[in-house]
């Protein structure tokens, strides 16, 4: 019996998220510093006559609207054939948490099915498919560290700095990315390029500079409606986080800790307080 093809799909965090203004296509122009972290979903792919998706999380909608199946259908169309596959998803990234959980699963699906179906599409062709499906999916295809511009799909890969240690804390509900962007206030394009400043600060381990540059323009939107977000940030800071910010459109927040031991200790404390938390690191 052939063993299934198994791929891991890492979450991403935003160390900065600058919303530069609305675009003619209905999206917002952004500038972001993004990094993959060690929190991962797992997808397995097996040959089958039909295309199907099953997940170990009952709350996840596994219908045709799911990004995994939408990615699979897009790849079928690009290859010009109705290939089948049995896809199993082990879900560990919170739903609607600002960590690109759906996007990273879609990216893994493009990679996995391109291999399973012997599609032969190169990374550039897969990236084109990814961008048509969602703004975060091209980044999730490549992972690592990157600046993202455009609507998030234009990437500049970056050399990974030394490993960073975080605690991710989630209040247990979803936030709509579309809602967050529709309520953000923009004052025009920033000329500072906070994302570049944030990356330089990470490289130098200059946490004061990172505190000043690691800003998320969506944080005010989500935090004003959901007080759980600033409450989690205060909790992380009280437990020793150097900096705490919201990731993406939230509601997940991250706290940066000086090392793995400190992040693990803070995470255990939060879990004991019945808070959903996980200690992660960058790759």
| Residue among 12, 41, 91, 217 flagged as catalytic | 12
At residue 21 the predicted structure's pLDDT band, cuts being 50, 70 and 90, is: confident
At residue 191 the predicted structure's pLDDT band, cuts being 50, 70 and 90, is: low
pLDDT the model gives residue 134:
95
Cis peptide before 37 (omega within 30 of 0): no
Stated pTM of the model: 0.94
DSSP state of 282: B
For residue range 81-106, list pLDDT tens digits in order.
Answer: 999 999 999 999 999 899 999 999 99
Q: What is the mean pLDDT of residues 147-169?
A: 97
Report CA Rg, the chain: 19
Go through 125-144 and write b for each residue having 16 or more CB atoms within 10 A of its CB, e for each that does not: ebbebbbebbbbbbbbbbbb
Q: Is 12 labeled as catalytic in the residue annotation?
A: yes
243 pLDDT higher than 70: yes
Q: What is the mean pLDDT of residues 180-197?
A: 79
Q: Is 258 labeled as catalytic in the residue annotation?
A: no
Are the C-beta atoms of residues 2 and 46 closer than 8 Å to each other? yes
- Average pLDDT of the chain to the nearest whole number: 95
At residue 1 the predicted structure's pLDDT band, cuts being 50, 70 and 90, is: low
pLDDT the model gives residue 60:
92
186 pLDDT higher than 70: no
Tokens of 242: 């150097």
Are the C-beta atoms of residues 33 and 195 closer than 8 Å to each other? yes
pLDDT the model gives residue 159:
97
Q: What is the mean pLDDT of residues 36-64?
A: 96
pLDDT the model gives residue 100:
95
| Residue among 124, 136, 238, 264 flagged as catalytic | 136
């Amino acid at each position: 019996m052939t063993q299934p093809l198994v791929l891991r799909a890492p979450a991403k965090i935003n160390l900065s998220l600058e919303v530069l203004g609305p675009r003619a296509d209905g999206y917002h122009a952004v500038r972001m510093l993004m990094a993959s972290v060690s929190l991962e979903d797992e997808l397995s792919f097996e040959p089958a006559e039909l295309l199907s998706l099953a997940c170990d999380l009952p709350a996840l909608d596994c219908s045709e609207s799911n990004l995994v199946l939408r990615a699979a259908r897009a790849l079928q169309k690009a290859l010009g054939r109705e290939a089948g596959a049995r896809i199993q998803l082990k879900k560990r990234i919170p739903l609607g948490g600002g960590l690109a959980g759906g996007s990273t699963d879609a990216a893994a699906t493009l990679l996995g099915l391109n291999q399973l179906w012997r599609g032969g599409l190169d990374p550039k062709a897969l990236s084109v498919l990814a961008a048509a499906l969602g703004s975060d999916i091209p980044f999730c295809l490549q992972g690592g560290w990157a600046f993202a511009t455009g609507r998030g799909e234009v990437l500049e890969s970056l050399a990974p700095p030394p490993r960073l240690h975080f605690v991710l804390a989630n209040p247990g509900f979803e936030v709509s990315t579309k809602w967050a962007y529709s309520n953000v206030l923009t004052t025009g394009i920033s000329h500072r390029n906070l994302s570049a400043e944030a990356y330089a600060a990470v490289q130098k381990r200059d946490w004061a500079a990172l505190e000043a540059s690691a800003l998320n323009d969506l944080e005010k939107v989500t935090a004003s409606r959901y007080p759980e977000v600033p409450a989690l940030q205060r909790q992380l800071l009280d437990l020793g986080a150097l900096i705490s910010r919201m990731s993406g459109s939230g509601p997940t927040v991250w706290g940066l800790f000086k090392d793995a031991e400190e992040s693990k200790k803070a995470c255990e404390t939060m879990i004991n307080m019945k808070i959903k938390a996980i200690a992660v690191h960058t790759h």
